[in-house]
Amino acid sequence: MIKVGIAGASGYTGLELLRLLIKHPDVEITAVTSEKHQGQKLADVFPSFGGFSDLQFVSLSPAIADTCDILFLALPHTTAMNQVPAFLTGNCRVIDLSADYRLKSAEIFEEWYSVPHEQKEALSQAVYGLPEMHRDNIRSAKLVANPGCYPTSVTLAVAPLVKTGWVDLDTIIADCKSGVSGAGRKLATHTQFAECNEAVSAYGLATHRHTPEIEQEISALAGRDIRVTFSPHLMPMTRGMLSTIYINLKKDLELEALGKHYREYYKNEPFVRILNLGTFANTHHVAASNFCDIGLQIDSRNRRIILTSAIDNLVKGAAGQAVQNMNIMLGLDEKTALDSPGIFP
Ligand SMILES: NC(=O)c1ccc[n+]([C@@H]2O[C@H](COP(=O)([O-])OP(=O)(O)OC[C@H]3O[C@@H](n4cnc5c(N)ncnc54)[C@H](OP(=O)(O)O)[C@@H]3O)[C@@H](O)[C@H]2O)c1
């Protein structure tokens, strides 16, 4: 059995890792951390795990890496950034769900996160964990930087267009909506029921930290610097993320040709579904699943492609993708513990 630790197991993505890994046939969860709940039993704090686990929360320490083969870090960004090199000294491999190792450039990280990045060596080892783009590097990675939720939904939708020459890559606009669990479990005024229920609000316009991550991946595919306009919104729902993306066409294009190209591009990807033409992505259809659903449309009057991309922010946008990465790293069937249609309604 593969021994697995989850740092930050009392948070939303940590709990989602637990939900998925507890049913994984090749995994034994050996450690779960929470500072607030250390010493308490997981099932006492979170009764949904009653009957499934006798685990007890411990405090995060470097010693945790000695007890596991894979350590998931489901912690706020910068919390464990400086501990990662210590976690990597032995045989343990790390999958970090935070943003600490996602950006290849320490300077760009410092510009957007306003903290110094002092772990340049670990940063240079980190592999960006979007399997559809970096599967071969993920296999042998010691440190995987699990992508952000918005970058997952936007990058998967845009990637097939990048090398076609059909679109003007300098016109990408991503209008994205997230459920409230995207902000994590910590208390904050804007995520209190009375403030976010029955309200839709834009936030982080032109400044959101996922912008350079989306740009990094699309630029790498394009072979030149690409800028995107990224506009996130908070929606009154618990989980789910929908991105509607607009890109100007450089030539006339039939919707059937676009559909054929997308289906061919993702034909071997178990977790990307290209929707039937005329059907658009819906967060209900991916809830609690690891799927990314992509819908296609051409607005021929305005010579624009309109893409819709739906994921569950906690699954393909975080914990599910992290488990997918773990399966790849261990040479297991990539779909293990993830092969589920989710829940509807
Ligand atoms: N939520 C999403 O949809 C999503 C999607 C993609 C990526 N992410 C990223 O995943 C990471 C976790 O997000 P989340 O939404 O799960 O956050 P969360 O619900 O706020 O959970 C944070 C976890 O970190 C622990 N923690 C907080 N401060 C700590 C500290 N100083 N030392 C040790 N442990 C600490 C908390 O434990 P206690 O408070 O119990 O001590 C809790 O278990 C973040 O970096 C986030 O950006 C989140």
What's the pLDDT tens digit per position in 177-186? 999 999 999 9
- Closest ligand 1 atom, residue 35 Cα: 41
For residue 297, the 8-state DSSP code is E
pLDDT of residue 88: 96
- Closest ligand 1 atom, residue 60 Cα: 33
Q: Which domains are assigned to the chain?
A: 2-125 (3.40.50.720), 150-313 (3.30.360.10)
Annotated catalytic residue, options 149, 176, 196, 292? 149
The answer for residues whose C-beta is within 8 angstroms of residue 180's C-beta and 6 or more apart is 191, 196, 234, 235, 236, 237, 238
pLDDT of residue 154: 98
pLDDT of residue 89: 94
pLDDT of residue 160: 98
Could you tell which of 6, 19, 35 is best to mutate to test the pocket of ligand 1, judged by most ligand atoms within 8 Å of the CB? 35
Ligand 1 centroid from CA 249, angstroms: 40
In 169-192, which positions are buried (b, 16+ CB within 10 angstroms) versus exposed (e)?
A: bebbebebbbbbbbbeeeeeeebe
The model's confidence at residue 18, banded by pLDDT at 50, 70 and 90, is very high
Ligand 1 centroid from CA 153, angstroms: 20
Q: Is 144 strand, coil or helix?
A: strand
Shortest CA distance to 17 belongs to which of 49, 45, 47, 41? Answer: 49
Query: Measuring from each residue's beta carbon to the nearest atom of ligand 1, which residues come in under 6 Å?
Result: 8-14, 34-37, 60, 74-77, 79, 97-98, 148-149, 181-182, 184-186, 313-314, 317-318
Alpha-carbon span 295 to 275, nearest angstrom: 5
Catalytic residue list contains 292: no
pTM attached to this predicted model: 0.98
